[in-house]
Amino acid sequence: EKRGYPHFMLKEIFEQPRAISDCLRGRLNLEDDTIHLGGIADQIDKLVDADRLIIAACGTSWHAGLVAEYLFEHLAKLPVEVEYASEFRYREALIDEDDVMLVISQSGETADTLAALRTAQERGALSLGVCNVVGSTIARDTDAGVYTHAGPEIGVASTKAFTTQVSVLVMMAILLGQKRGTIDQEYAKKLIHELNEIPGKVEEILEHSDSIKDMAKLFSYAPNFLYLGRTYNFPAALEGALKLKEISYIHAEGYPAAEMKHGPIALIDEMMPVVVVAATDHTNDKMISNIEEVKAREGRIISITGEENEEVINLSEFSCPIPETEDCLSPLLTAIPLQLLSYYIAVNRGCNVDQPRNLAKSVTVE
Ligand code: F6R
């Protein structure tokens, strides 16, 4: 079942080029630069006219939701709120029939996400789902939805579920942008064609997994890690930190890079690895200042950045260069070295990677 891989998690990390291709198949039309999402075709007009999109999810799926917030605001100019499903359901959340609720769940069975869905439905909002497990409760009970088609995910830590969720969300945002007339058609074309290149670029990153394996040996000692990112890669930083803590039991925190100055900087000393997730965008200069602030306090910089971002690479003790892509697609690539880093650190520490203590694959209790 593990097809020669020592763990399901590693197998699933390496499956991502195929999982993302399966997710995109039949949905990207490269001839006329359109996107076809059959599962939501009947409801798309309601989404086009919506006042607001509310996204509810937990854990890794919530991180995909945060990426979606940037995507929908940027490409479709639609106001978005991203909620922890567990908080949304117990608040007096203001949601009505002019809003759309989007729930994201790999398993489609997460109790809090399901409860958030029910709340939205009681208030009359259209509900959409992004799920992996076909026929799961959330997939069945939403008004419409899009499957990620990642295939079964056995490792408790989500990997291919995340990158396929983000792939679906990118497609939804482009489609909505086209329908709302908020995205320039040339830019839509560029994104559609670039999205089609993502599986190949993920493959390229995976070919360099040995260098991440070697690097992991040097950082497996650390009791704490800090992850920093900006814009689209702020959620990627959160996801990197979650991956590390759940499988290696190392305390890790993800922050928007600028927030470092508002507290976490006090933690930095020569023992502290700081993983900087820096796709090359308009925030690059700001990231460089953050890196300098960390180095001035002897923190150890590991960067995950575009292969042409020499400035960041040269300032880093270790760097995992990734192929260049559009900013809004970059979490699909930066996620991969983050997954590999936590996997190899967990293995070095002798942790049970596929079945971390205290965790279950599907959280059906509240
Ligand atoms: C992290 C992880 C969890 C899940 C969360 C939501 O690696 O697996 O944080 O993402 O429990 O699960 P789903 O997506 O099934 O609703």
- pLDDT of 111 reads 96
Told to judge if 286 belongs to the known catalytic residues of this protein, a careful annotator would answer no
CB of 159 sitting under 6 A from ligand 1: no
pLDDT one-digit tens code per residue, 51-100: 999 999 999 999 999 999 999 999 999 999 999 999 998 988 899 999 99
CA of 180 to the centre of ligand 1 (A): 31
| Cβ atoms 91, 126 nearer than 8 A | no
Q: Which residues of 75-91 are buried (b: 16+ CB within 10 A; e: fewer)?
A: bbebebbbbbbbebbee
| Through-space distance between the first and last CA atoms of the chain, rounded to whole angstroms | 31
Distance CA 358, CA 165 (A): 25
Q: Which residues of 243-257 are buried (b: 16+ CB within 10 A; e: fewer)?
A: bbbbbbebebbbbbb
Distance CA 171, CA 138 (A): 20
Q: For the chain, how long is the longest CA-to-CA vector? A: 56
Distance CA 51, CA 211 (A): 47
CA count, 13 A, side-chain hemisphere, 166: 29
Among 62, 158, 248, 358, the mutation site with the greatest number of ligand 1 atoms within 8 A of its Cβ is: 158
CA count, 13 A, side-chain hemisphere, 33: 15
- pLDDT of 38 reads 97
| Cβ atoms 147, 105 nearer than 8 A | no
pTM of the model: 0.97
Structure tokens at 182: 């908020």
Instruction: Considering the candidates 179, 189, 245, 361, report the single residue annotated as catalytic.
Output: 361
Tokens 């990677």 correspond to: 353
Structure tokens at 278: 């820096």
- pLDDT of 204 reads 98
In this prediction, residues 232-236 reach a mean pLDDT of: 98
CB of 309 sitting under 6 A from ligand 1: no
- Three-state DSSP class for residue 107: coil
Among 110, 243, 244, the mutation site with the greatest number of ligand 1 atoms within 8 A of its Cβ is: 110
Least confident span in 150-159, 260-269, 304-313, 353-362 = 353-362
pLDDT one-digit tens code per residue, 99-126: 999 999 999 999 999 999 999 999 999 9
In the beta sheet, which residues pair with residue 224? 251
CB of 115 sitting under 6 A from ligand 1: no
